[in-house]
Amino acid sequence: MRHVISLLLENESGALSRVSGLFSARGYNIESLTVAATEDPSLSRMTIVSIGSDDIIEQITKQLNKLVEVVKVVDLSEAGHIERELMLVKLRATGKDREELKRLADIFRGRIVDVTDSTYVVEMTGDPAKLDAFVEAVDSALILETVRTGVAGIGRGDRILKV
Amino acid sequence: MAISGAEIVVKCLQEEKVDYLFGYPGGAVLYIYDELFKQDKVRHVLVRHEQAAVHAADAYSRSTERVGCALVTSGPGLTNAVTGIATAYMDSIPMVIISGQVPTAAIGLDAFQEVDTVGITRPCVKHNFLVKDVKDIAPTIKKAFYLARTGRPGPVLVDIPKDVTAARCEFEYPATVEMRSYNPVVKGHQGQIKKAVQLLLEAKRPMVYAGGGVILSDAADKLQKFVQMLGVPVTNTLMGLGGYPATDKLSLGMPGMHGTYESNMAMQYSDVLVAIGARFDDRVIGNPTHFGSVPRKIIHIDIDPSSISKRVKVDVPIVGNVPDVLDEMIRQLEATTERPDADALEAWWKQIEEWRRRDCMKFKNSDEIIKPQFVVQKLWEVTKGDAFVTSDVGQHQMWAAQYYKFDKPRRWINSGGLGTMGVGLPYAMGVQLAHPGSPVAVVTGEASIQMNIQELSTCQQYRLPIKICNLNNRYLGMVRQWQEFFHGNRYSQSYMDSLPDFAKLAEAYGHVGLRVDKPGDVEDAIREAFKRKNDLVFLDFQVDPTENVYPMVQGGKGLTEMILSSEDL
């Protein structure tokens, strides 16, 4: 099962490596990991996407909680939540492809943020499946490079992760 | 008045009432050593290898209820210490290790004696710090001691660059520690405890399985009261020996790979199993699928939530400090007249007595050759079961655990989790310094003892009258045993050739050495050793090289699939 784990941790050097070290040392899987400081600069917020059985996810959350710098851990996928990821895609855009790619980007509510006579850079946000779908929809020969941030997640409504 | 970072370090140790600091000097810690020189509250013990410093500090902690403390220099000083740190981490021993680091400006430039200490030790400490500002030294050391001793204890490392120890600031030792991200649970959940007590009262075949957490949390008295109130059988793991008196009739001895027949059978066939400060280790329950194949309810008391339901699913998890939870359970038991069904309990004990009659610890003694088990038995008799016993790792460790009946906690000091050969002698140093005047014995083998033999020199310097019982079988005994069982008697690299004359070696270090060849001389030799109150005595027992440790549950097998003797092979 795919889980989205969100945590607040002390914004200190080394905290990220404690988390990533934990995953590699115990053989847990990381699909993606994003981290940045929060509105309170002493805290970082991290979103980890991991795939594992319920037992493993339970161990992951317990082990994360055990890290001294981790303040709070929540498995967002236990209830309603929103996931968003940012992707930048550089596409070869020449001839009739230019119009087609523009139309496709519009359909996916992407924005073209850089244009040359032969390339576009498309910026797109959404849940990971939507980004996958866009990549699928574009002729693979036209994709020059892609870069994705990994998922950032937040709970819906009253689910608040705060100190 | 501003003082140097080095002086602050020493003042912090004084504030923490550190009486012994085990260490080894080097470039990055010179300022700290200079400050140590100027005072006499913190006594420094100079070892001969940093690994031994950490082991000695570890054993100092294990044999008391205090935080052990070690000091090493940067680079190789630290890497030598890593085995000691990992050993303490696996057994949850509260320790603070202070390491020197190259000056702040040199970090990351591959400076002389530089390693990424925080990176290297991260997976084997409870927490670690790199102190970059002299103002942070005191609060960081305060936090380190607090983290080491609270919650699930463990080693904490503080890495301090040389320039930070030279910089100056005002000293103030914080009175308290506040950490929003660290709040260990102490009291167990009331509802869960109630459920557990109810389950126990309804049990027909109850069993208590107590681990190292009972020792670490100083809960032996409470465990004894709890077990005796219910009249239920109790087993103590390798790390938990002494948590319940081994000579009491309710004790079934040790469980697991080399545990007793009755303990393993009772673990398997109990209907309610109470695990207290234990973690269902692979050496304790054998194959988890086999262990889970019979129905039983499990109550698990542990301070570390991640220990619960890690290897075995439990029915009633109780996260909390063992003595607090036991107190509450005792209180609830006292408040009710209900007791487990007497007839069922009697039938359960009858069954256990039947298992006990297998007498799984019997061994064929000999008049010709010394049996290692016999040496441990005699050691137990001569010391009246009241010595501190450390061991190394291997066959001798298991025989010491099996044949020395520990009635008190913190008397049995060994590396259970990491299984570190070479701990025995430095462990005995830490114990002897913590308990001057008390008998301290090392049960070791000719292979393990050579892994830290240089510490005989430290023992001479500090006049530590340790008694070393070397069960010399000229083999890496446990390796040889596995090769005999599983590798067609091909004793690949397990024969110990070119051994030194240990008695003479001990003498060369200024100690007393004695070689013992005949079973008839064993007892006298041990008596003689303990009579020499001021001498370290190295007893080199020439024991049967073919002896194996029984019972044995082979790796991957179920707990009840035991080999009881060579006849079962």
The DSSP-derived string for B131-174 is --SGGGHHHHHHHHHHHHHSSS--EEEEEEEHHHHHSEEE----
Compute CA A63 distance to the chain's CA centroid, rounded to the nearest angstrom: 22
* pLDDT above 80 (res B338): yes
What digits encode the pLDDT tens for the residues B35-91? Answer: 999 999 999 999 999 999 999 999 999 999 999 999 999 999 999 999 999 999 999
Same domain, A52 and A67: yes
Identify residue B139 by its one-letter amino acid code.
P
Domain B2-170 has CATH 3.40.50.970: yes
Same domain, A16 and A32: yes
In sequence order, the 6+-apart residues with CB closer than 8 A to the CB of B246 are B236, B253, B405, B406, B407
Same domain, A71 and A88: no
What digits encode the pLDDT tens for the residues B452-471? Answer: 999 999 999 999 999 999 99
Closest by alpha carbon to B468, among B507, B410, B520?
B507
Same domain, A74 and A22: yes
Report CA-CA distances (Å) from B135 to B167, B168, B172: 9, 8, 9
Same domain, A94 and A65: no
Same domain, A109 and A95: yes
* Bridge partner residues of A160 (DSSP): none
Q: Per the structure, how many domains does chain A have? A: 2
Contact B71, B32 (CB under 8 A): yes
What digits encode the pLDDT tens for the residues B156-173? Answer: 999 999 999 999 999 999
Domain end among A78, A95, A127: A78
- The minimum CA-CA distance between A106 and chain B, rounded to whole Å, is 45
Chain B environment of A68 (Cβ under 8 Å): 126-127, 147, 179, 181-182
Find, in chain B, the residue whose alpha carbon is nearest to that of A163.
Answer: B180
Q: Report the C-alpha gap between B185 and B325 in whole angstroms.
A: 11
Report CA-CA distances (Å) from B204 to B199, B244, B340, B398: 10, 22, 7, 32
In sequence order, the 6+-apart residues with CB closer than 8 A to the CB of B288 are B280, B282, B311, B312
Compute CA B428 distance to the chain's CA centroid, rounded to the nearest angstrom: 12
Q: Per the domain annotation, does A162 fall within a domain?
A: no
Which tokens hold the place of B275?
Answer: 């695990």
Contact check, Cβ <8 Å, B304/A17:
no
CB atoms within 10 A of CB B443: 28
What digits encode the pLDDT tens for the residues B526-554? Answer: 999 999 999 999 999 999 999 999 999 99
Chain B environment of A73 (Cβ under 8 Å): none
Find, in chain A, the residue whose alpha carbon is nearest to that of B151.
Answer: A66
What digits encode the pLDDT tens for the residues B290-333? Answer: 999 999 999 999 999 999 989 999 999 999 999 999 999 999 99
Q: Where does B372-549 sit in CATH, by number?
A: 3.40.50.970
Strands (E), B395-456: 412-413, 440-445
Same domain, A44 and A88: no
Quick one: pLDDT at residue B175?
97
Contact A124, A108 (CB under 8 A): yes
Q: Report the C-alpha gap between B309 and B341 in whole angstroms.
A: 29
Find, in chain A, the residue whose alpha carbon is nearest to that of B319.
Answer: A62
Find, in chain A, the residue whose alpha carbon is nearest to that of B304.
Answer: A66
Same domain, A16 and A69: yes
Quick one: pLDDT at residue A132?
97
Contact check, Cβ <8 Å, B119/A17:
yes
Quick one: pLDDT at residue B421?
98
Same domain, A73 and A95: no
- The minimum CA-CA distance between A104 and chain B, rounded to whole Å, is 46
- CB nearest A68 (choices: B118, B182, B306): B182
Contacting B with CB below 8 Å, chain A residues are: 9-10, 14, 17-18, 21, 25, 55, 58-59, 62-63, 65-66, 68-71, 163
Chain B environment of A70 (Cβ under 8 Å): 181
* pLDDT above 80 (res A57): yes
What digits encode the pLDDT tens for the residues B121-135? Answer: 999 999 999 999 999
Chain A environment of B127 (Cβ under 8 Å): 68
Which tokens hold the place of B54?
Answer: 């950490």
CATH no. for residue A30? 3.30.70.260
* pLDDT above 90 (res B4): yes
Domain with CATH 3.40.50.1220 in chain B: 190-356
Q: Report the C-alpha gap between A29 and A52 in whole angstroms.
A: 7
Helix axes B50-63, B424-434, angle to 10 degrees: 50
CB atoms within 10 A of CB B379: 26
Domain with CATH 3.40.50.970 in chain B: 2-170, 372-549
SS3 for B420? coil
Identify residue B568 by its one-letter amino acid code.
D
SS3 for B94? coil
Kindly state whether B119 is in contact with chain A, defined as any CB-CB distance less than 8 angstroms: yes
ipTM of the complex: 0.92
Sheet of strand B512-516, all strands in order from the earlier edge strand to the far edge? B412-413, B388-391, B440-445, B467-472, B537-542, B512-516
* pLDDT above 80 (res B448): yes
- Mean pLDDT value across residues B95-121: 98
Considering the segment(s) B190-356 as one domain, its CATH architecture is 3-Layer(aba) Sandwich (3.40)
* pLDDT above 80 (res B202): yes
Quick one: pLDDT at residue B315?
97
For residue A49, what are the domain limits? Answer: 2-78
Contact B166, B297 (CB under 8 A): no
Q: In the predicted model, what is the mean pLDDT of chain A?
A: 96
- Mean pLDDT value across residues B202-207: 97
* DSSP conformation letters of B372-388: HHHHHHHHHHHTTT-SE
Same domain, A125 and A72: no
Contact B482, B430 (CB under 8 A): no
Q: Which of the four pLDDT bands, split at 50, 70 and 90, describes residue B569? A: confident
Contact check, Cβ <8 Å, B130/A14:
yes
Identify residue B388 by its one-letter amino acid code.
F
Q: In the predicted model, what is the mean pLDDT of chain B?
A: 97
Q: Report the C-alpha gap between B62 and B432 in whole angstroms.
A: 12
Q: Which of the four pLDDT bands, split at 50, 70 and 90, describes residue B566? A: confident
Q: Which of the four pLDDT bands, split at 50, 70 and 90, describes residue B185? A: confident
Find, in chain B, the residue whose alpha carbon is nearest to that of A64.
Answer: B306
* pLDDT above 90 (res B101): yes
Q: Report the C-alpha gap between A75 and A3 in whole angstroms.
A: 7
What digits encode the pLDDT tens for the residues A106-150? Answer: 999 999 999 999 999 999 999 999 999 999 999 999 999 999 999
Kindly state whether B305 is in contact with chain A, defined as any CB-CB distance less than 8 angstroms: yes
In sequence order, the 6+-apart residues with CB closer than 8 A to the CB of A82 are A153, A154, A155, A156
Range list of H helices, B150-259: 162-166, 190-201, 212-216, 220-230
Place of tokens 């010179």: B30
Domain end among A15, A49, A78: A78
Q: Report the C-alpha gap between B322 and B274 in whole angstroms.
A: 12
Kindly state whether B436 is in contact with chain A, defined as any CB-CB distance less than 8 angstroms: no
Q: Per the domain annotation, does A157 fall within a domain?
A: no
Chain A environment of B179 (Cβ under 8 Å): 68
Domain end among A57, A78, A99: A78
CATH no. for residue A129? 3.30.70.1150
Chain A environment of B123 (Cβ under 8 Å): 21, 25
Compute CA B389 distance to the chain's CA centroid, rounded to the nearest angstrom: 11
Same domain, A68 and A105: no
